[in-house]
Amino acid sequence: MTAPAQITALPCWSGTLSAAPLEGGLSNESWLVTDAAGQHVARFGRDFPFHHVDRAREVATARAAHAAGFGPAVEYAAPGVSVVQFIPSRTWTAADVRAAPDRIGALLRRFHDGMAHHISGTPYIFWPFHVIRDYARTIAAGGSPFAPDLSRYLALSDRLEVAQIPLPIIFGHHDLLPANILDDGSRLWLIDYEYAGFGTAMFDLAGVASNAGMMAGETSALLQAYLGQPPDVDFQRAFDAMQCASLLREAMWAMVSDIHLAAPGSDYRSYARDNLMRLEAALNQFTQTHGTL
């Protein structure tokens, strides 16, 4: 059944409806649907065990995010599909994130302080270094062209993990690509909760910075807004190491996706190579600032 036919068959609409595809998803298919009640986003996506993605958990988290004031309302959900409130807004770009690091820092502080109180059910733990190790197994088993470099990636990941510092456990988003931030003109919204779970704040902070290509002054403003004070030397070193881990994890996400996914218009190998190039630049900057890992 085609996506338009699946949308038409859903029991949640009022009156006549129309649907148009939305661009931008690397692993999911989304449609803007208009009916007599207004506009909605229908999102199709199956479970991805190779990415640790469970759609029932994602929907439960999206409901919690709405209750906490961070995400749009979930209006309907069934296996393989969810329908959420459409937020008239502008999708942020990397330039938008870089231009507002203090605003992002304050948003993440509120998110990390508030989300855990709204989460129910079995807890999910997100630890990027486990993800990297598990991705390596999938990449090796899948005969990926990137497989010959896995031992080097894993050794690097181990060094980046050792560079981390103890931090409180919070509930994080863990997929802070610029496109997952919406601006309605008065407030910011977060969408796409596939990887949300309990962990430390460091991956969200480092991930939003590395995904947007923040420079030193911008990351300083981000951390100042989040922490309420400048980071100490150990925190800054762990943050810079986690930026490298974020890029490595994103590259390996693409390597796994190259084996298992085929979203229209997505070139996973190019996306992996792009993130590996950015990783090399981040590692060079880390060495210049902190010395050898």
Q: What is the pLDDT at residue 280?
A: 98
Q: Is the pLDDT of residue 67 over 80?
A: yes
Q: Is the pLDDT of residue 181 over 90?
A: yes
Angle at 51 between CA 48 and CA 54, to 5 degrees: 50
Q: What is the pLDDT at residue 74?
A: 98
Q: Is the pLDDT of residue 2 over 90?
A: no
**Per residue in 6-31, pLDDT tens?**
999 999 999 999 999 998 767 788 99
CA nearest neighbour of 204 among 254, 231, 170:
170
What is the arithmetic mean of pLDDT over 101-129? 97
Q: Is the pLDDT of residue 110 over 80?
A: yes
- The structure tokens 């989304």 sit at 30
Q: What is the pLDDT at residue 104?
A: 98
The rounded percent of the chain whose pLDDT value lies above 70 is 99
Strand ranges (DSSP E) for the chain? 18-22, 29-35, 38-44, 74-78, 81-85, 90-91, 170-172, 181-183, 188-190, 197-199
Q: Is the pLDDT of residue 217 over 90?
A: yes
CA nearest neighbour of 127 among 231, 245, 255, 223:
245
Coil, strand or helix at 258: helix
**Residue ranges of domains in the chain, CATH in brackets:** 3-88 (3.30.200.20), 91-290 (3.90.1200.10)
Q: What is the pLDDT at residue 27?
A: 73
> Rounded mean pLDDT of the chain?
96
pLDDT band at residue 265 using 50, 70 and 90 as cut-offs: confident
Q: What is the pLDDT at residue 137?
A: 98
What is the arithmetic mean of pLDDT over 84-104? 97
Q: Is 198 exposed, middle or buried (0-12, 13-18, 19+ CB in 10 A)?
A: middle
Q: What is the pLDDT at residue 36?
A: 96
Q: What is the pLDDT at residue 34?
A: 97
Beta bridge partners of 30: 22, 43
Note the pTM of the prediction, 2 decimals: 0.95
Q: What is the pLDDT at residue 127?
A: 98
What is the arithmetic mean of pLDDT over 281-292? 96
pLDDT band at residue 266 using 50, 70 and 90 as cut-offs: confident
